[in-house]
Amino acid sequence: MKNHKLIIAHFQTQQQAENAIIKLKKYGYDITKLSIIGTECYIQRNVVGYYTIYDRMEKWSSIGLFAVGLTSIVFGSLFFFNLMNISAIKMPIIYACIAILTAASISLIAIAFSKNRVIEYRTEIRARKFMLCADDSSDKIKKIQTILEVHLPKENSPSAKENQMILEN
């Protein structure tokens, strides 16, 4: 662990950080030891629209169509098999068709009269800047510095630290 160092390179966009990783991979560096970290993160919520009566009716129209289709098949089978003369079979089937249509229409009418409008959002987490971090041996970190052309700031360089120590003494 004595020989390990950490390097952090700052980038303005995620694409620049990804390009740096691609560049390091071309030079044979193990990219599994790299991390991209977003800094200055914030949440962005964009309004997509309202969930209105039209949207509700569009969603529930398939249920209404299913109810109408089901009743037409059941009620139509009475005419196909000519069972209209037998009242013991006729009345329960008619009542079942009426019940199916009533249940579907009541739910659709209730949706149409509701005043609730819901705002739909699309939420994203975004970052303003990105850091590329690597923790490896000293010689590999120096290789990364030369490949990415990352320079130590003057105040963090070893010669600047030596000069600061001389000035303090």
Give the tens place of pLDDT for each residue, 4-60: 788 888 888 889 889 999 998 998 888 888 889 898 888 988 877 766 666 666 776
- Alpha-carbon distance of 134 to 31, in angstroms, equals 9
**108, burial (CB in 10 Å: exposed 0-12, middle 13-18, buried 19+):** middle
Whole-model pTM above 0.75? no
Cβ-count burial of 34 within 10 angstroms (0-12 exposed, 13-18 middle, 19+ buried)? buried
Asked if residue 108 lies in contact with residue 64, where contact means CB atoms within 8 angstroms, the answer is: yes
